């Protein structure tokens, strides 16, 4: 972590970790929680950014990029994850394709949308049942380490991995130091 990284937002730390791990492709389905991260990668010429219509397509694009020698990541929200068990079980896991996924956790901590709540309850058990490593990031100080470690592990073991962005991380207002730095 650099000396001035304490003023850095969670999404700026994610971008730094992606670059440090040579992840150049970002596929995503739009999400309000991920919007600041999505804006950053769109504005950075380092990244190739693709916005397909569905999460399964995003996974397929990232899997194809891997087969072509490019590292990618898929960004989505919890409800989008609900569309993925088939592609995870029939493509990524059996063919050992390392596609890191970053999932903004919805349906927890007072969320009023029943659909989000139901999917949130099933997300971790599905990941566990499929043998896909996953970790929830709750603190800004852990972002760079967890993102970097999960991406590194995915490519070293040739299997997908999921990073879950907790509302404890994404819903917190920026610190006064971070707000002043912008």
Phi first, then psi: what are they for 112, rounded to 5°? -95, -5
Kindly tell me if the per-residue pLDDT of 145 is higher than 70. Answer: yes
* Distances 138 to 70, 121, 122, 152, 165 between C-alpha atoms, Å: 29, 17, 19, 20, 7
Which class for 149: exposed (0-12), middle (13-18), buried (19 or more C-beta within 10 A)?
Answer: middle
Return the pLDDT at 30: 93
DSSP state of 47: -
Angle 154-155-157 from CA coordinates, rounded to 5°: 70
Q: What is the pLDDT of residues 91-136, one digit of tens each?
A: 999 999 999 999 998 766 666 676 776 777 788 999 999 999 999 9
């Amino acid at each position: 972590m650099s000396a001035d990284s304490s003023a850095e937002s969670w999404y700026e730390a994610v971008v730094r970790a992606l670059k440090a791990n040579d992840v150049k492709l970002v596929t995503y389905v739009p999400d309000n929680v991920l919007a600041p991260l999505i804006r950053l990668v769109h504005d950075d010429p380092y990244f190739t950014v693709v916005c397909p219509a569905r999460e399964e397509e995003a996974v397929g694009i990232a899997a194809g990029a891997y087969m072509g020698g490019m590292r990618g990541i898929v960004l989505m929200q919890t409800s989008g994850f609900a569309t993925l068990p088939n592609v995870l079980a029939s493509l990524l896991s059996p063919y050992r394709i390392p596609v890191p996924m970053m999932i903004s956790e919805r349906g927890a901590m007072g969320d009023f949308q029943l659909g989000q709540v139901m999917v949130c309850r099933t997300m971790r058990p599905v990941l566990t049942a499929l043998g896909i490593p996953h970790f929830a990031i709750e603190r800004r100080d852990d972002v760079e380490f967890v993102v970097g470690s999960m991406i590194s592990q995915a490519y070293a073991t040739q299997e997908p991995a999921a990073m879950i962005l907790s509302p404890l991380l994404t819903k917190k207002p920026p610190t006064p130091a971070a707000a002043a730095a912008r």
